[in-house]
Amino acid sequence: MSQKFTKLQNNNSDSTAYGKWFATAVYDQHFIETEELANYIQQQASVKKSDIKAVLDELGGAMKHYFELGQKVKLEGIGIFKVGFSSIGTVEKENCGAATITTRRVLFQPETERVVVGQTTNKQGKVVQKYVIAKTLVKDVLFEETYDTNLKPESESGSEGSGSGSTTGGSTGGSTSGGSTSGGSTTGGSTGGSTTPSGGEGGNGDGDDGLDKG
């Protein structure tokens, strides 16, 4: 099995990538839900499906509990989840407070690992390993072009780059009018406010890769 993609052309004349073609992920309308996950996990582990499903059903409530305590939640092999939010900008510092916080969101930073891709020689003549930082969940995903018109691209909110959602070419930077986005790593916001990070930490998966950037 593989992640399917199709080819889309960037038709945004304001984009520096105008006219270029990009591989774009496409999906069907099916979701893998709790029941199906429980079935799969049961086949991989010596645990009853009913017990697995009970745990999965409680996971959301447990994460909500720790979010309300201002904690980040790290799931081994998956990544880190934390709360982010948008805030209305104020002229005076004393007017900026909890009342200016608007949209809440969940931010996700996938777990990463170092993958050795070869060897090289450093300046001292010593042979050292070359590696890349790969996201654990997707490092083994294979890609396959499809011509199935039932599969559709989906927009990746706030994404920039080569365009694996419907914003092909990735030239749409986006501006957040009148406020700032906290808990993320995207800087923008040209009208009435700015998009300011408040938790985009580096290292092995503790910043904002934007599960939901709003």
CATH code of the domain covering residue 105: 4.10.520.10
Top-confidence residue, 163 or 75 = 75
Q: Does residue 203 belong to any structural domain of this protein?
A: no
Note the pLDDT of residue 134.
94
Q: What is the pLDDT of residues 80-109, one digit of tens each?
A: 999 999 999 999 999 999 999 999 999 999
| 110: CB partners within 8 A, 6+ apart | 78, 79, 135, 136, 137, 138, 205, 209
Top-confidence residue, 164 or 120 = 120
Q: Does residue 206 belong to any structural domain of this protein?
A: no
What is the pTM for the complete model shown? 0.69
With cut-offs at 50, 70 and 90, classify the pLDDT of residue 20. very high
Note the pLDDT of residue 29.
87
Note the pLDDT of residue 154.
84
Q: Does residue 187 belong to any structural domain of this protein?
A: no
Q: Does residue 128 belong to any structural domain of this protein?
A: yes
Q: Are 87 and 184 in contact (CB under 8 A)?
A: no
What count of Cα atoms within 13 Å lies in the side-chain half-sphere of residue 7?
A: 4
Q: Does residue 205 belong to any structural domain of this protein?
A: no
Q: Does residue 47 belong to any structural domain of this protein?
A: yes
Provide the 3-class DSSP secondary structure of residue 158: coil
With cut-offs at 50, 70 and 90, classify the pLDDT of residue 182. low
What's the CA gap between 160 and 156, in Å, rounded?
Answer: 9
Q: Does residue 159 belong to any structural domain of this protein?
A: yes
Q: Cα 190 from chain centroid?
A: 23
Whether residue 57 is predicted with pLDDT greater than 50 in this model: the reply is yes
Q: Does residue 211 belong to any structural domain of this protein?
A: no
Top-confidence residue, 38 or 157 = 38
Per the structure, the count of domains in the chain is 1
Domain of 141?
3-182
Q: Are 119 and 139 in contact (CB under 8 A)?
A: no
Whether residue 159 is predicted with pLDDT greater than 60 in this model: the reply is no
With cut-offs at 50, 70 and 90, classify the pLDDT of residue 112. very high
Biggest CA pair distance of the chain: 59
Whether residue 2 is predicted with pLDDT greater than 60 in this model: the reply is yes
